[in-house]
Amino acid sequence: MTYVLYGLGALIALYVGCLLFKMLFPTKCPKCQSKNIVEKASVRSTFVQSERASPDLNTYFLCGDCNARSKRHKGQWSDVEDLEWNRAVKPGTPST
Ligand SMILES: [Zn+2]
């Protein structure tokens, strides 16, 4: 029974750690440095290179100030084309 509590405690600690990390290092728009940037989608995929598969994550952001659409991949920012944006950020999700 105590193992469940340990697990729960670890999960809460992880959650609080993530919140603290986000507070200390807020995401900023790569174009205008605004903090008014909203995560729109996270797309997981599996990246295969020389027969080794590793998880891959692309996160898509929309800036509320300059309306820039950006993608973060392994800490690197890049612009997003219309096609990729529409594919990643499903139509029907609130855009404001
Ligand atoms: Zn911006």
More confident residue, 58 or 46: 58
Give residue 90's pLDDT: 73
- 47-94 pLDDT, tens digit each: 777 888 888 899 999 999 999 999 999 889 999 999 999 989 876 655
Give residue 91's pLDDT: 64
Q: Is the pLDDT of residue 95 over 70?
A: no
Distance (Å) from CA 69 to ligand 1 centroid: 8
| Pairwise CA distance, residues 64 & 93, whole Å | 15
Query: Whose structure tokens read 């105590």?
Result: 2
- Encoded tokens for 68: 């820039």
Query: Whose structure tokens read 């499903």?
Result: 90
| Pairwise CA distance, residues 60 & 58, whole Å | 7
Distance (Å) from CA 26 to ligand 1 centroid: 14
Distance (Å) from CA 53 to ligand 1 centroid: 34
Average pLDDT over residues 6-16: 94
